[in-house]
């Protein structure tokens, strides 16, 4: 399967309160490459219920703030892409609250880069050719599609999902993607 991508620099997020994958992607002359990655994993804090949910949201906001403030040239970005929160399934409040944290933090940091939500199913369909692919299957398929340099930061299924979401948006900008 040959897929086309628009040129651009995208910061992409696969966000939840448990694990957030972040991928900085650049496409030049249609060729995609991962420039950097980050992974935020919630610490074990012993909390339960809503107290645990709020604590995880605050931790995510803090870590995202550090990454966005110190690790990324925000002015170099063409788009910020993040996963559309799930409406069905397990712990939907986690994906909704994580998306809210990301969106409000970006506003607080005065990021003027367009922010785009992409559904996981859409990304799987347009980038990988099958909307029903499981999370564990995404990583090896993305690795076959994009140049991934040796990084000091993690490359895992959460970062691979973020990469897929960013690539889906860059595909949607092409003539092929607009059909």
Structure tokens at 130: 């099958």
Residue 2 lies in a domain: no
Residue 179 lies in a domain: no
Instruction: Say what the pTM is.
Output: 0.94
The predicted pLDDT at position 1 comes to: 57
CA distance 80 to 99: 12
CA distance 97 to 132: 24
Residue 15 lies in a domain: yes
Q: How confident is the model at residue 154 (pLDDT cuts 50, 70, 90)?
A: confident
Residue 96 lies in a domain: yes
Domain of 129: which CATH number? 3.30.420.10
Q: How confident is the model at residue 119 (pLDDT cuts 50, 70, 90)?
A: very high
CA neighbor of 67 nearest in space, from 142, 168, 162, 133: 162
Average pLDDT over residues 116-129: 96
For 133-144, give the DSSP string: --HHHHHHHHHH
Contact 84, 116 (CB under 8 A): no
Q: How confident is the model at residue 46 (pLDDT cuts 50, 70, 90)?
A: confident
Residue 53 lies in a domain: yes
Give the CA angle between residues 102, 168, 39 to the nearest 5°.
40
- Structural domain of 118: 8-172
The number of folded domains in the chain is 1
Residue 117 lies in a domain: yes
Residue 156 lies in a domain: yes
Residue 148 lies in a domain: yes
């Amino acid at each position: 399967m040959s897929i086309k991508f628009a040129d651009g620099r995208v910061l992409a997020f696969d966000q939840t309160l448990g694990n957030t994958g972040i991928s900085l992607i650049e496409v030049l002359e249609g060729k995609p490459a991962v420039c950097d990655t980050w992974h935020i994993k919630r610490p074990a804090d012993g909390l339960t219920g809503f107290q645990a949910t709020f604590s995880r949201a605050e931790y995510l906001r803090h870590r995202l703030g550090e990454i966005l403030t110190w690790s990324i040239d925000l002015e170099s970005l063409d788009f910020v892409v993040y996963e559309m929160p799930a409406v069905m399934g397990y712990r939907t409040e986690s994906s909704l609250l994580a998306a809210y944290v990301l969106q409000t933090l970006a506003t607080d940091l005065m990021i003027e880069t367009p922010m785009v939500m992409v559904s996981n199913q859409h990304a799987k369909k347009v980038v990988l050719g099958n909307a029903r692919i499981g999370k564990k299957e995404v990583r090896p398929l993305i690795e076959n599609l994009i140049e991934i340099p040796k990084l000091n930061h993690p490359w895992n299924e959460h970062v691979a999902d973020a990469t897929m979401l960013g690539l889906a948006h860059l595909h949607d900008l092409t003539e092929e993607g607009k059909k």
